[in-house]
Amino acid sequence: MRVCLIASSRFPIREPFAGGLESMTGTMARGLAERGHEVTLFAGPGSDTSLPVRLLPLASLDPSPAAMEDRFAPGPGWLAEHHAYLDLMLSLARSGPEDYDVVHNNSLHHLPVAMAPAVEVPMLTTLHTPPLPMLESALALCPEPPRFVSVSEWTSRAWRHVVDSDVVLNGLDLRQWPVGDGGGPAVWSGRIVEEKAPHLAIDACRAAGVPLVLAGPVQDPSYHAREVVPRLGDGARYVGHLAGSELSALLRAASVAVVTPMWDEPYGLVAAEAMASGTPVATFARGGLSQVVAPQAGVLTPPGDVEALAAAVLTAATFDRGEVRAHAEATCSADAMVEGYLRLYDEIGRRDDAA
């Protein structure tokens, strides 16, 4: 099967990944290629050239000074994204059936959804976030919306007022996340932004008397400087944005993973990575995490309740790491994810042939 994977035009598909969307797309690309499928990838500059895929070049535009004199002109970042996706979708509309059997859209941009009816190739879109206004706008004007998939039951319910979706849980290549013995400090990992609230992980672990290591990209420097940096020290340290192998080693040695979303996580990839490593999770019960983290693999607490989270850190650290890993193997594997999408590729292909 010839598959076109559409990701973000801003972020590359390479380690260390910018986020769960990029990680999932990279896992899909490798999983499809290992099964003998031909994969073409649309993604941000600097994507991993060792991936077994054909990388699509991004169209660029240098608008004239006259055009940019318009005081309502969009910023350069918005314009670059718009131009790259517009070029991609026009190309798919012109010659998509000659090149691809299915298009799998993992981006958050509105144009792949809005222009899907113009593309004569079966297409499905994965919903990686809660509802977004630009995607709702595209769907409102789309007479024949493409097939949709959500990364968790929670995400599917969140979008149900706009569009129905199947559910395929995100997955990890478990070969890259071996189980470890634990016993070390707690770990918080993810994007360092206010809605992920790592400062609350520091507060909870400090209250529990458990040292904490934080890892991830600083995507909100103001928040990081205001809430995280002043809390470092006294058992809490930040180790930067780690590649997958480095994060895996950190999680294998951790006693517990702390997850502190102050928004509704669509899935919760950091929890899956921890559980694959045998590391139990202490987390706020937000969004998809309530589906991803089972009772034998972690402790869910009321959102924002630091005292309850501190207790959960101590409780979760006593869990059997073999049972935690077994839960990950049963629910978070890349094989299950890729096979789930392949079944949908086949289904929408047969439906398109019948039409």
Q: Are residues 158 and 196 in the same domain?
A: no
Q: List, in order, residues 6 or more apart from 115 with CB less than 8 Å away.
A: 89, 90, 92, 93
For residue 314, what pLDDT is reported? 98
For residue 19, what pLDDT is reported? 85
d(CA 70, CA 208): 56
Q: Are residues 350 and 277 in the same domain?
A: no
Please name which of 4, 80, 79 lies closest in space to residue 41, comparing C-alpha atoms: 4
3-state secondary structure of 126: strand
Q: How many domains is the chain built from?
A: 2
Q: Are residues 200 and 81 in the same domain?
A: no
Q: Are residues 231 and 346 in the same domain?
A: no
Q: Are residues 326 and 346 in the same domain?
A: no
Handedness of CA 57, 58, 59, 65 (dihedral sign): negative
Helices (runs of H) and strands (runs of E) counted in the chain? 14, 13
Q: Could you tell me the residue range of the domain that residue 230 belongs to?
A: 174-331
d(CA 239, CA 11): 22
Task: Output the pTM of the full model.
Answer: 0.89
Q: Are residues 61 and 144 in the same domain?
A: yes
Q: Are residues 192 and 153 in the same domain?
A: no
Instruction: Tokens for 289, please give them.
Output: 């995490």
Please give the chain's pLDDT, 355 residues, in tens: 999 999 999 999 998 888 889 999 999 999 999 999 999 999 999 999 999 999 999 999 999 999 989 988 888 899 999 999 999 999 999 999 999 999 999 999 999 999 999 999 999 999 999 999 999 999 999 877 789 999 999 999 999 999 999 999 999 999 999 999 999 999 999 999 999 999 999 999 999 999 999 999 999 999 999 999 999 999 999 999 998 899 999 999 999 999 999 999 999 999 999 999 999 999 999 999 999 999 999 999 999 999 999 999 999 999 999 999 999 999 999 999 999 999 999 999 876 666 5
Q: Are residues 248 and 144 in the same domain?
A: no
Q: Are residues 292 and 350 in the same domain?
A: no
Q: Which residue has the tokens 């718009």?
A: 82
Q: Are residues 104 and 153 in the same domain?
A: yes
- What's the CATH number where 142 sits? 3.40.50.2000
> Taking a C-beta distance cutoff of 8 angstroms, is the pair 123, 341 a contact?
no
Q: Are residues 115 and 208 in the same domain?
A: no
Q: Are residues 164 and 303 in the same domain?
A: no
